[in-house]
Amino acid sequence: MRTMGNTEASRVRADGRRQLLVYLPPELIKDVKKLAVDDDTTASAIVEEAVRQWVEKRTSVKRDEHAAD
């Protein structure tokens, strides 16, 4: 198991979440930040919800493909 260096360890929050660096178009970042303010939430919460939905969709499609075999 890989041990975390000081830099990586500092990115772990008290709730166990870790940082993931992604690159997005500037306009998308601007839109997400604006919507976060409008919805009284965080950009992280919006991205987490979107990624969870994407993962669920992908895994359910994979399950369906395997069930059809």
- Summarize pLDDT for 10-57 with one digit per residue, the tens: 668 899 999 999 999 999 999 999 999 999 999 999 999 999 999 999
Answer whether residue 5 is part of any domain. Answer: no
Answer whether residue 36 is part of any domain. Answer: yes
* Owning domain of residue 30: 20-68
The answer to whether the beta carbons of residues 49 and 43 sit under 8 Å apart is: no
Answer whether residue 7 is part of any domain. Answer: no
The answer to whether the beta carbons of residues 12 and 18 sit under 8 Å apart is: yes
Q: How confident is the model at residue 6 (pLDDT cuts 50, 70, 90)?
A: low
CA distance 59 to 40: 30
How many domains are contained in the chain?
Answer: 1
Answer whether residue 2 is part of any domain. Answer: no
